[in-house]
Amino acid sequence: MSGPHPGTPELPPQAYVLAMSSLPGASPRWVARVVEAHGPVGAWRLVSSGRARPAGVAVRGLQGWEAALRSTDVALLWQRCQSSGITVLWPGGPGYPPSLRGGRLPGGPLFVLGSPAALAAAPMVAVVGTRRCTPDGLAVAYELGRDLVAAGVVVVSGLALGIDGAAHGGALAGRRPALAPTVGVAASGVDVVYPRRHRALWAEVARCGAVVSEAAPASPAQAWRFPARNRIIAGLAQVVVVVESHLRGGSWHTVDAALEAGKEVAAVPGPVRSPASAGTNRLLASGAAVVTSADDVLALLEPTAERSACSPAWPQPGRFRPGDAAEARGAGSGQPAGGCPAAGLPEALDLPGLGPRDRGCGLPTVRARRHPPVPVSGPGPALAPNALAGVLLEAFPRRPICLDELVERSRLPVGAALLALDELERAGLVTEDSGWWCRSG
């Protein structure tokens, strides 16, 4: 077990926050309390000397806790963290998101893969919903993500299958130069991709925005971490939008946390016979704001600006108004970002579907778009759209197939698959009938 010598610490403060967070039974809130009271170095001295430990340790027995302390190599943990490009933030330390400092949704130490500035550099809107979503729900989530980012808003979600993945995919497709498009909040360590199907999406979110978690690196996704993950999503966002939700599901944790913190909650109305819309329709009946487009969300952002504790980078009053999303699209908002942080990841990742144009998602439910695609000038992406669509085409079997199975067979993120389907359908290579897709010819 390594620790600071009396006087000057051997390692930076982040290393000791990381070490405490990696101990078994050390909850994020417990670590935050000890660190806020004594500072990272002083807190580690107390913990490593046995003078501070979580309340649950006494119940489980001290033997395992003491063994974990003896085996903790702070320098090795810090070296691994640095080599993975992971940043450590803690309450009271530099760069910690203002919206998670104190208040009704206090956060614990955060581990960030990507740009820490993405957590506080712009207004944030959470776009969340069920994994068991409909094609229409995927389309709406994708378009909300794309259009909100085009209007200068950072989209935050949970990197999960379904609505979350579609929102992240749309945000990446609509990204603007010098603006982090999306933040993904994980229920595992930021270096443990979950679900594995979203590996490419995870990497792209980290490259152009940030993947963040309260879980220490190498932590697996566990059931109890998901409600905690949703609390961070609600804490970061000024507005929480639920696209589709069943009467029971993880989205309700996010809604409850947002309401507890006095955040604005909105929902997308859906068919009364659709189980995936039962939760959102109940939210609307309870007084949640109605969202049918990004313009509705932008209108909700103005009243939150005065009571929000976001960063000094918050836009000037009056910047957001209904119609801004459409104006941003017309100005070429689909242009690739000029400077996404590398975060130790390759510059060009195999994330199909992130083309240089502002395109719809290609689902039959959204063919009558209010805002048609607008070609834009500027440099193209690292990968050509036709090559990307080819990846999805190869996944088609000799029978009709639904979107969920296509995503699983192709191993593409949902947002990328939606874009690729749009390319293939316009080229006449695939057709759709009642939610089922077939290769032509």
- Domain residues of the chain, as ranges? 13-83, 98-330, 364-439
- What fold is seen in the domain 98-330? Rossmann fold (3.40.50)
- Please tell me the predicted confidence (pLDDT) of residue 323: 42
CB 297 within 8 A of CB 289: no
β-partners of residue 126 are 156, 240
Provide block-wise average pLDDT over 10 residues at a time, the chain (441 residues): 50 94 88 92 90 69 75 92 95 90 81 93 90 91 94 95 92 81 95 90 92 95 88 94 91 90 93 93 94 95 54 31 40 36 31 32 28 29 52 86 81 73 81 78 67
Q: Which amino acid is at 376?
A: V
β-partners of residue 265 are 240
CATH architecture classification, 364-439: Orthogonal Bundle (1.10)
β-partners of residue 185 are 212
Is residue 85 helix, strand or coil?
coil
Residue reference for tokens 């199909």? 352
Is residue 112 helix, strand or coil?
strand
How far is Cα 2 from Cα 15, in angstroms, rounded to an integer?
11
- Please tell me the predicted confidence (pLDDT) of residue 329: 41
- Please tell me the predicted confidence (pLDDT) of residue 62: 64
How far is Cα 216 from Cα 275, in angstroms, rounded to an integer?
36
- Please tell me the predicted confidence (pLDDT) of residue 353: 34
Task: Give 255-274 as a DSSP string.
Answer: HHHHHHTT-EEEE----TT-
Q: Which amino acid is at 418?
A: L
Q: How many CB atoms lie within 10 A of CB 8?
A: 7
CB 391 within 8 A of CB 424: no
Q: How many CB atoms lie within 10 A of CB 57?
A: 18
Determine which helix (DSSP H) or strand (DSSP E) holds 269, and give its type and residue range: none
pTM for the structure as a whole: 0.71
How far is Cα 253 from Cα 335, in angstroms, rounded to an integer?
35
How far is Cα 64 from Cα 187, in angstroms, rounded to an integer?
24
- Please tell me the predicted confidence (pLDDT) of residue 3: 52
